[in-house]
Chains A and B, each alone.
Chain A
Amino acid sequence: MEKTWNNKAWFMVLPVLVLVAFSAVIPLMTVVNYSVQDTFGNNEFFWAGTDWYVEVLTSDRFWDALTRNLIFSAIILAIEIPLGIIIALNMPKKGLGVPVCLVLMALPLLIPWNVVGTIWQVFGRVDIGLLGHTLEALGINYNYVQNPMDAWVTLIVMDVWHWTSLVVLLCYAGLVSIPDAYYQAAKIDGASRWSVFRYIQLPKMKRVLLIAFLLRFMDSFMIYTEPFVVTGGGPGNSTTFLSIDLVKMAIGQFDLGPAAALSIIYFLIVLLLSWIFYTVMTTSDAQS
Chain B
Amino acid sequence: MARIDLEHIRHAYGAKPKSENDYALKEVHHEWNDGGAYALLGPSGCGKTTLLNIISGLINPSEGRILFDGKDVTHLSTQDRNIAQVFQFPVIYDTMTVYDNLAFPLRNRRVPETEVDRRVKEIIEMIGLGGWAGKKAQGLTADQKQKISLGRGLVRSDVSAILFDEPLTVIDPEMKWVLRSQIKRLHKQFGFTMVYVTHDQTEALTFADKVVVMYDGQIVQIGTPAELFERPRHTFVGYFIGSPGMNVLPARIDGSTATIGGETIALNFRPEFKSGAKTELGIRPEFVSIGREGMPVAITKIEDIGRHKIVRARFADQPISIILDEDGDIPADPRIAFDQKAINIYADSWRVGGEA
Give the interface of A toward B (CB within 8 A).
Answer: 179, 181-182, 184-185, 187-192, 195, 199-200, 203, 288
Contacts and interface: CB of A to CB of B under 8 A. Distances in A.
A199 B96 contact: yes
B233 to A, nearest CB: 32
Contacts of A199: 93, 95-96, 104
A182 B104 contact: no
A208 to B, nearest CB: 15
26 contacts: A179-B89, A181-B89, A184-B58, A184-B85, A185-B87, A187-B57, A187-B58, A188-B58, A188-B78, A188-B83, A188-B85, A188-B105, A188-B153, A189-B152, A190-B105, A190-B109, A191-B104, A195-B104, A195-B108, A199-B93, A199-B95, A199-B96, A199-B104, A200-B93, A203-B95, A288-B95
Contacts of B83: 188
Given A184-B58, A199-B95, A199-B96, A190 B108 contact: yes
Contacts of A181: 87-89, 91
A135 B221 CA distance: 72
A218 B142 CA distance: 39
Interface residues of B, number: 25
B326 interface: no
Contacts of B84: 188
A191 B56 contact: no
Interface of B: 53, 56-58, 77-79, 83-85, 87-89, 91, 93-96, 104-105, 108-109, 149, 152-153
A187 B78 CA distance: 6
A203 B79 contact: no
Nearest to A204: B94
Contacts of B94: 203
Nearest to A187: B78
A189 B86 CA distance: 10
A211 to B, nearest CB: 19
Contacts of B85: 184-185, 188
A199 B96 CA distance: 8
Contacts of B95: 199, 203, 288
A186 to B, nearest CB: 8
A288 B93 CA distance: 13
B167 to A, nearest CB: 13
B106 to A, nearest CB: 9
A207 to B, nearest CB: 12
A66 B84 CA distance: 56
B91 A182 contact: yes
A268 B159 CA distance: 60
A249 to B, nearest CB: 48
B93 A184 contact: no
Contacts of B87: 181, 184-185
Nearest to B110: A190
Nearest to B53: A184
Nearest to B159: A188
A187 B79 contact: yes
A38 B90 CA distance: 67
Contacts of A203: 93-95
Given A182-B91, A185-B149, A187-B57, 11 more contacts: A184-B58, A184-B91, A187-B77, A189-B104, A189-B152, A191-B104, A195-B104, A199-B93, A199-B104, A200-B93, A203-B95
